[in-house]
Chains A and B, each alone.
Chain A
């Protein structure tokens, strides 16, 4: 009976692990909702940080993440297209694939340091542009890997059909292959956007932060995440409440974008 007992114990422990994991999720979400909602007011969204709101921070964070996406998505997609459609899976392709995977896991603070050296130190001031570059560097490898994987799922027959119709290679890619992989790539883009919009470390000494509303990327740029870090360490109750409100809003945004992405692929299957 011993081995049956051991079996039971292991199965119970495994189930327990899942329960623990899920409890932490609910614990964190419950805390955020409780603390966040009670600290939220209408003025939180209409005022800037200097007046105790997060309007400029939200606009700033989205602006940087959107510009970063506008740069990273085409570059990442083209790179993925080269890897899958042009490289013939040669040695160089496998080197680039691996390097891009390594880059995906590179510590984000190191990317911040790198961008500081190139785009902050020479100009002598923090700027939103540097923040955008840091986020772009974080996003590119994620888009590469998504595009690469999604193009791999497109059936060979579609490519052959395109060739049989006499289409040139890039026309086949743009008009047939990318269309077939559209949903998967869009999901990947949404998931990576959800990831970079919540990043703090690469922004700390690139865009830094700004209390005021600004769209000027050549100066310090407002950031929601950097503000949360600053506000949480202030001793006064008001700052902490604003930090909770901002955390709640940030998490809600990240999870909604994330779930939207997942929902899209689920529908397709």
Chain B
């Protein structure tokens, strides 16, 4: 009797994540209906975001600026983070002395544990001024947000990359060394090809994280609805727009916010699925 209940409750719990995901998609889709009906796919290319002062059901809303801001800040972050994360993984698997591996790994993992709001605070008061004096601009903008985003996703990428590099059989590396290969040649010709799937998977997963990151970017991107014309310009992103304006929006504007949330959700769902299915595989022991 108890066994049956135990099993049934286990099954119910397991299916819950399915229902939550379907629930998120349906709720966002339903609440976004007004905006989807009104603007359709044109929403993605339109840069106007203007509420009607008299009637909440009117107004023109387009998601191009936050969409662009999300993509650009993510691209900057990826360009900076990818080489550094791979470098750290190489350091941890191939270079570091045994006594260094543990402390360096822990330090990198602690970097991942720091809450994103802390990155935002620190970035705003300590990092933004440095960007301002080096590159000009206001201090806050795409570049600052991108760099701090990079620091946030590096530990995550480095950890998965390291794990997949660790799966390379020693025999393979040793054979290459025996042929007189240098460490770099072993990394380039043996480890990289072998661990390629894991590395690409980690890059795509990190991309998914960066797209949805809210608090750090909210402090650093400037949070203004404007098209950036240079890399130091302030703009906004989907998560930041939601964080700052979602709760005050009404009517059609609110529906457009749900539309943006839906786009973000679908895009990150797609990206994460691609990373999981194509590159990381699911190891079922």
A residues sitting closer than 8 Å to B (CB atoms) are 3-4, 6-7, 10-11, 13-18, 20-22, 24-25, 27-28, 31-32, 35, 74-79, 81-83, 85-87, 89, 93-103, 105-114, 116-118, 137, 140-141, 144, 152, 168-171, 173-174, 194-195, 198-201, 204-205, 208, 225, 228-229, 232, 243-244, 247, 250-251, 254-255, 258-259, 262
Alpha-carbon distance A105/B205, docked complex (angstroms): 8
The residue in B107, B113, B155 that gathers the most chain A C-beta atoms within 10 A of its C-beta is B113
When distances are taken between beta carbons in the complex, the residues of chain B under 8 Å from A89 are 284
When distances are taken between beta carbons in the complex, the residues of chain A under 8 Å from B215 are 200-201, 225, 229
Alpha-carbon distance A137/B265, docked complex (angstroms): 15
Q: For the complex, is B145 an interface residue (Cβ under 8 Å from A)? A: no
Going nearest first, the 3 A-B pairs with the smallest beta carbon separation are: A107-B212, A17-B87, A198-B115
Query: Do most interface residues of chain B lie in helix, strand or loop, or is the interface mixed?
Result: helix
Please tell me if the beta carbons of A7 and B115 are within 8 angstroms of each other in the complex. Answer: no
Q: Which of A24, A81, A107 lies in contact with B265, CB distance below 8 A?
A: A107
**Contact bitstring B119-136, A, C-beta under 8 A = 1, else 0:** 111101110000000000
**Contact bitstring B7-51, A, C-beta under 8 A = 1, else 0:** 101111111111011011001100100000000000000000000
When distances are taken between beta carbons in the complex, the residues of chain B under 8 Å from A78 are 9-10, 12-14
Please tell me if the beta carbons of A232 and B261 are within 8 angstroms of each other in the complex. Answer: no
Please tell me if the beta carbons of B108 and A22 are within 8 angstroms of each other in the complex. Answer: yes
Give the Cβ gap from A46 to chain B, nearest Cβ, in Å: 23
Other A-B contacts than A14-B91, A95-B18, A140-B20, 20 sampled, CB-CB below 8 A, are A10-B90, A15-B95, A21-B111, A21-B158, A22-B107, A28-B114, A79-B10, A79-B16, A94-B282, A102-B269, A107-B214, A109-B261, A110-B24, A118-B23, A198-B115, A200-B115, A201-B116, A204-B246, A247-B117, A250-B115
Q: For the complex, is B211 an interface residue (Cβ under 8 Å from A)? A: yes
Please tell me if the beta carbons of B285 and A152 are within 8 angstroms of each other in the complex. Answer: yes
Alpha-carbon distance A247/B284, docked complex (angstroms): 40
Please tell me if the beta carbons of B17 and A107 are within 8 angstroms of each other in the complex. Answer: no
When distances are taken between beta carbons in the complex, the residues of chain A under 8 Å from B13 are 74-79, 82
Q: Which of chain B's residues 173-221 have a Cβ closer than 8 Å to chain A?
A: 182-185, 187, 205, 208-209, 211-215, 218-219
Alpha-carbon distance A76/B18, docked complex (angstroms): 13
Q: Which of B10, B84, B185, B211 lies in contact with A17, CB distance below 8 A?
A: B84
A selection of 10 A-B contacts at a CB cut-off of 8 Å is A10-B187, A11-B184, A14-B88, A17-B90, A25-B110, A75-B16, A114-B28, A117-B31, A254-B115, A255-B110
When distances are taken between beta carbons in the complex, the residues of chain B under 8 Å from A170 are 2-3, 6-7
Residue of B nearest to A231 (CB): B121
Please tell me if the beta carbons of B268 and A6 are within 8 angstroms of each other in the complex. Answer: no
Q: For the complex, is B79 an interface residue (Cβ under 8 Å from A)? A: no
Known contacts A14-B87, A86-B11, A144-B17: A98-B246 contact under CB 8 Å: no
Alpha-carbon distance A9/B120, docked complex (angstroms): 34
Known contacts A15-B95, A18-B96: A116-B88 contact under CB 8 Å: no
When distances are taken between beta carbons in the complex, the residues of chain B under 8 Å from A27 are 126
Alpha-carbon distance A208/B247, docked complex (angstroms): 10
Q: For the complex, is B118 an interface residue (Cβ under 8 Å from A)? A: yes
Residue of A nearest to B7 (CB): A86
When distances are taken between beta carbons in the complex, the residues of chain B under 8 Å from A3 are 182, 184-185
When distances are taken between beta carbons in the complex, the residues of chain A under 8 Å from B187 are 10
Please tell me if the beta carbons of A113 and B115 are within 8 angstroms of each other in the complex. Answer: no
Q: For the complex, is B149 an interface residue (Cβ under 8 Å from A)? A: no
Alpha-carbon distance A16/B94, docked complex (angstroms): 14
When distances are taken between beta carbons in the complex, the residues of chain B under 8 Å from A140 are 16-17, 20
Give the Cβ gap from B277 to chain A, nearest Cβ, in Å: 8
When distances are taken between beta carbons in the complex, the residues of chain A under 8 Å from B58 are none
Please tell me if the beta carbons of A10 and B184 are within 8 angstroms of each other in the complex. Answer: yes
When distances are taken between beta carbons in the complex, the residues of chain B under 8 Å from A225 are 115, 117, 215
Give the Cβ gap from A220 to chain B, nearest Cβ, in Å: 12
Alpha-carbon distance A100/B282, docked complex (angstroms): 12
Please tell me if the beta carbons of B212 and A106 are within 8 angstroms of each other in the complex. Answer: yes
Give the Cβ gap from B173 to chain A, nearest Cβ, in Å: 14
Known contacts A103-B21, A113-B261, A144-B17: A21-B118 contact under CB 8 Å: no
Q: For the complex, is B234 an interface residue (Cβ under 8 Å from A)? A: no
